[in-house]
Structure 1
Amino acid sequence: MDVVSFRTPGLGDQTYLLTHEGKGVLVDPQRDIDRFLDAAAERDVELRFVLETHLHNDYVSGAEQAALRTGAELVLPAAAAPAYRHVPAYHLEDLDGGDGLTLRPIHTPGHTPEHTSYLVLLDGEPAALFSGGSLLVASAGRPDLLGPERARSLARLQHGSLRRLAALPPGVGLYPTHGEGSFCTVTGAGRLTSSIGAERAGNPMLAIDDPDELADALLAAPMPIPAFYRYMGRANTLGVPPMPPVRVPELDAAPQGAQVVDIRPRRSQARGMLPGSIGIELDDDFGSWTGWLLPYQEPITLVAEPDQDVAEAVTQLAQIGIDTVRGVVRDLGEAATQTYELLTLDAFVRRLAQPDAQVLDVRMPAERREARLEGAVERFLPDLVTQGIPAELTPERPVLVACASGRRASIAAGLLARAGHRPVVLADAGVAEAAAALGRPRAA
């Protein structure tokens, strides 16, 4: 048996391809399925099953299309009841993969009500566990994504699910779908994979014996929920069309009514963007931030460098169901009049020390426990879209913007600039470094 993992860092998720005696099992595939099917073909593997652990909240699934392309059996939790043809996975009703390979569904509600993990047995011996959003490395799947009304009930169910999985033999490999960087985890998950024994020894969620105490811990400080999550469950229930081609036409100018997203490096953006555009430089989490900050499924025009490949941007958007990229503009000409300023840490700290400095911190609330800047206006980046620019910030003076690394601050700069402010961004450092340089870090 071999397990190949495919990391999607911008979403904090992993897809797995299990291979055994020429047969393959694909687990929780994302929409861009070619990378998984190509890997199976390279290994001369016939795909036998495509498994889904739950109806995903954070991305559009490629499971149905992978099964249709390959003839594999599509398996979903019995209680998921999607609108397309599939094999329902019932608790402890084994699926025979042939040649000594058995898949045992284990109902593990908590992250979602229907959530099902899959235990892999080789010749009757437990070997690996695909735990989806149940037991994670040093963490657990969050129970509040379906709304606060059901969160505590699901959190209590998660207690039983974690215990059920922790009772498996210690040598069983643990392969969760959600990991570091995912907003589907309760806390920052650790390594990508683990074992049952290692989690018994070190997972803090398994150290809590009482269901209500675990529910308190799971719900104590929930992370924000990305805005596009609300659309994923419905898409994955009704079925998703194949991923469209990633090629987009070259445009001379952005069409009227399109959301303009500048994917160039922040230093290019700072020198000039199209008025009204938002700057989200292309990186692993480009799709997540775009889906969170822009109206879902509205037409999008990308702005890119002359030699920049836009295929990755289009792919990341398609992973969360956004198929509305209409084209790319590469020559801005004289129209790039929306600007902002980038500063090094030393220069930023000097500006902070000025008595009339106004400061905006766009980190998540949980991040503020590490350090704060005295007098800063604190707004998580997406709140600048949903709630507007804070009234405390005046356009008459520059706004010093910081986050943890400069990425979110540069995105905020575009939002501020199009609202008539003069943003000044801490480009390559964060609030913690700035507070330390001032000599007055302050914990929450």
Structure 2
Amino acid sequence: MSTATTTVSTPVIVPIDTPTLGDRSYLAHDGQVGVVIDPQRDIDRVLALASDAGVRITDVFETHIHNDYVTGGLALAQATGARYHVNAADEVSYDRSPISDGDVIDVSATMRVRAIATPGHTYTHLSYALESAEQAGDEFEPVGVFTGGSLLFGATGRPDLLGHDHTNDLVHHQFASAHRLADELPEHTHVLPTHGFGSFCSAGSTGDTTASTIGAEKRQNPALTQDEERWVANTLAGLDAYPAYYAHMAPANSAGPVAPDLATPEEADKDTLAARIAAGEWVVDLRTRTAYAAGHVTGTLNFGLDGQFATYLGWLIPCGTPLTLLGDSPDQVAEAQRELVRIGIDHLAGAATGTPHQWTDDELGAFERAVFGDLAQVRHHRRVTVLDVRRASEFDTGHIDGAFNIPLHELLARVDEVPAGEVWVHCAGGYRASIAASVLAARGIPVVAVDDSFDENAASSGLPITAAA
């Protein structure tokens, strides 16, 4: 995207989306030199964009020590010779260019970056105002602000990732930080967050918004339209579970992660796959839930690349468990490998590509897929267990009468609680239900995966729904 005002020659701002983690990084440049904010681990994407634009990266900025992914900031700075700006107050084990509130980094004669302390997501969180001048010697004006996990589109970053003891302090800091940005920056300033596109780092919904300004946020963001007491209460009440792998991200980022190794993993044959499944290792089928349900190697788990693959695999897999991937093609495995290094899963035990018949000599496993209308009909004829694997907050908002709720991220630890007999499993849209169905099928539990929209079709199918009080 590019920005424009009547008096300022604006830099080009290129978002770099990582949809499966719900994050954005940014490259901002003036046609000759550029800066990068909050880069993901796979820095080849950033280097390719800079090369295509014909710009040299001079500075890399971190808004905070990230909790939801392993940064590529240090590796990118090392690869380009750029200055690596990390808050001076952050305790890290690598050399950086320390930066603090109010510091200004001159990038070129017409582009600079100003640090703004915005604690709330973390204590040391910084936002960065991108400022531009029409020509050398002219006055600089803000054109955009990289807000990281501070001010998001219609929301803010969550304040509870540092632990319960800090949440109350941080939520008040977050409110004050949102107001500082709104008070100090012109309304035309583009808001450029890192989180808020499906990331569990968001507190509150950011909807489908893809762009915003300070002025728009003043009109629509609850942090800027509600009084502090009400906003704090609503924010704390809305906090929900977040992925277990988050606990490992900040330590990895403080230690200084190196560039990932994306070399092709070792090929696994049928016997190897069978042995790994028997040993309790994770063998993950990357294909769509439709393909997986139609036929799969028994004992494998389905985390399709067509959803939030890295988020949910990282959430469920026990730390250190050997992991083997199965995919339609080498490209599919390579894409999954790229997703995994972003959350610190650097080593794969192996991989295999092709079709399930090439992965085993045994009879393939399979299960039925259905919609909520099918479930409504079945319940008229026989008794089945309805397993709802949405998060508790989703379940409490409204659920099928008599449904049994085990959130997906708790299923491995609670699978023995699933009642005996036929299980129909659902979530909000089908992706999590397929993961859960694969977990149950691997344990020999007869399962049907409901691949349907709960909000659009559960009630209209005639299923009795208990709504929130």
Provide the TM-score with structure 2 as the length reference.
0.90
Give the letter aligned to residue 198 of structure 1: A
Partner SS for 1:359? strand
* Alignment correspondent of 1:92: 102
* Alignment correspondent of 1:111: 121
1:155 pairs with 2:179: no
Match of 2:348 among 317, 322, 325: 325
Match of 1:171 among 168, 185, 188: 188
* Alignment correspondent of 1:423: 447
Partner SS for 1:121? strand
Which whole-Å deviations, capped at 9, do the CAs of 1:135-189 have from their partners, x for residues lacking one?
0110000000111111111111111111100111101111000012110000121
* Alignment correspondent of 1:372: 399
1:182 pairs with 2:182: no
Cα distance in 1 for residues equivalent to 2:298 and 2:464: 38
CA separation of 1:312/1:246 partners in 2, compared to 1, >3 Å: closer, same or farther?
farther
* Alignment correspondent of 1:407: 431
Deviation at 1:402, TM superposition (A): 0.8
Which whole-Å deviations, capped at 9, do the CAs of 1:307-335 have from their partners, x for residues lacking one?
76211111100110101212223422333
Indicate conservation of the 8 Å contact 1:250/1:328, yes or no.
yes
Match of 1:391 among 410, 417, 427: 417
* Alignment correspondent of 1:437: 461
Match of 2:112 among 78, 102, 106: 102
Cα distance in 1 for residues equivalent to 2:148 and 2:338: 23
Match of 1:144 among 156, 160, 170: 160
Indicate conservation of the 8 Å contact 1:371/1:435, yes or no.
no
Deviation at 1:371, TM superposition (A): 3.3
CA separation of 1:295/1:336 partners in 2, compared to 1, >3 Å: closer, same or farther?
farther
Cα distance in 2 for residues equivalent to 1:187 and 1:248: 39
Cα distance in 1 for residues equivalent to 2:115 and 2:381: 62
* Alignment correspondent of 1:261: 284
Cα distance in 2 for residues equivalent to 1:11 and 1:352: 37
* Alignment correspondent of 2:137: none
Which whole-Å deviations, capped at 9, do the CAs of 1:66-96 have from their partners, x for residues lacking one?
0000011000112123111111111102111
Deviation at 1:373, TM superposition (A): 0.7
Cα distance in 2 for residues equivalent to 1:82 and 1:433: 50
Which whole-Å deviations, capped at 9, do the CAs of 1:31-83 have from their partners, x for residues lacking one?
01111111011111111110000000000000000000001100011212311
CA separation of 1:366/1:180 partners in 2, compared to 1, >3 Å: closer, same or farther?
farther
Which whole-Å deviations, capped at 9, do the CAs of 1:274-332 have from their partners, x for residues lacking one?
33321112224111111111112322111223676211111100110101212223422
Match of 1:280 among 303, 321, 326: 303
Partner SS for 1:198? helix
Which whole-Å deviations, capped at 9, do the CAs of 1:189-226 have from their partners, x for residues lacking one?
1313311000001111212333x443322211212110
What are structure 2's unaligned runs of at least 5 residues?
1-10, 134-139
With 214-223 and 403-412 compared, the bigger mean Cα shift is at: 214-223
Indicate conservation of the 8 Å contact 1:120/1:127, yes or no.
yes
Indicate conservation of the 8 Å contact 1:103/1:119, yes or no.
yes
* Alignment correspondent of 1:235: 252
* Alignment correspondent of 2:24: 14
1:28 pairs with 2:38: yes
Deviation at 1:367, TM superposition (A): 2.2
* Alignment correspondent of 2:211: 193
CA separation of 1:391/1:230 partners in 2, compared to 1, >3 Å: closer, same or farther?
same
* Alignment correspondent of 1:80: 90
CA separation of 1:312/1:101 partners in 2, compared to 1, >3 Å: closer, same or farther?
same
Equivalences for residues 188-227 of structure 1 within 5 A: 188-190=205-207, 191-210=209-228, 212-227=229-244
Provide the TM-score with structure 1 as the length reference.
0.94
Cα distance in 1 for residues equivalent to 2:64 and 2:329: 41
Cα distance in 1 for residues equivalent to 2:111 and 2:458: 55
Cα distance in 2 for residues equivalent to 1:376 and 1:435: 14
Deviation at 1:431, TM superposition (A): 6.2
Which whole-Å deviations, capped at 9, do the CAs of 1:216-249 have from their partners, x for residues lacking one?
2221121211011000000000011211124223
Cα distance in 1 for residues equivalent to 2:220 and 2:88: 32
Cα distance in 1 for residues equivalent to 2:260 and 2:24: 19
Cα distance in 1 for residues equivalent to 2:202 and 2:124: 17
Cα distance in 2 for residues equivalent to 1:12 and 1:80: 24
Cα distance in 1 for residues equivalent to 2:371 and 2:382: 20
Give the letter aligned to residue 202 of structure 1: Q
With 400-409 and 249-258 compared, the bigger mean Cα shift is at: 249-258
